[in-house]
Structure 1
Amino acid sequence: MREVEITEPLVRAMRIYRRVARHDLDQGTRRELARHIRGLAEQGVRDPGRLTVCGLSYLRQLERQRTPERSS
């Protein structure tokens, strides 16, 4: 999949995440997201909607990994 073809799902995932999380992604996270979506596209995922959803799931996974669990 060409770079241009991942642009739409990448931008859409970042926009949705920004609205839900109420903060922007840092440059490193944006790069990781782009790599993830590009990797899926190279594996044959072609549907832009599916790429967007997978991107959002990936961001959620990253957020969980980076957020320390609180002790009760």
Structure 2
Amino acid sequence: MDAAIDRIMQTYDLLANRTAAASEEARAKVTNYLNTLIEAGEKDPHRLTVCGLTYLRQLDGSVDPVKAGYTGL
């Protein structure tokens, strides 16, 4: 799990500049989230990485289509 968290945080930090405190908060949140996934039976480190990145991007709103400029037209 530590390898997946490290990969998540390396990739997530490349997406935008964040303070050290914001990165540590994101690491704590994604760690809790991955623990939940592992308890539910997920063991694939690649899938955990993708799920963790998706989770963090949803938390910060970067996957919101409205914010991205998508109008549906």
TM-score by length of 1: 0.73
1:23 is displaced (CA, Å) by 3.1
Q: Which residue of 2 aligns with 1:39?
A: 36
What is the distance in 1 between the residues matched to 2:9 and 2:3?
10
Taking the aligned partners of 1:7 and 1:27, their CA distance within structure 2 comes to 14
Q: Which has the higher helix share?
A: 1
Number of equivalenced pairs: 62
- Residue 19 of structure 1 is aligned with which of 1, 9, 14? 14
3-state SS of 1:44 partner:
coil
* Residue aligning to 1:3: none
Shift of 1:20: 1.9
CA distance in 2, matches of 1:26, 1:15: 10
For structure 2, list consecutive stretches of 5 or more residues without a partner in the other structure.
Answer: 68-73
Q: CA RMSD in A?
A: 2.1
Contact 2:4 2:46 in 1 (8 A): yes
Runs of 4+ in 1 over 6 A off after TM superposition: none
Query: Which residue identity lines up with residue 17 of structure 2 in the other structure?
Result: R
What is the TM-score when the length of structure 2 is the normalising length? 0.73
Which digits, 9 at most, give the CA deviation of each residue in 1:21-67, with x for residues without a partner?
233543222111100011101111110000000000000011019xx
- Consecutive unaligned residues in structure 1, runs of 5 or more: 1-5
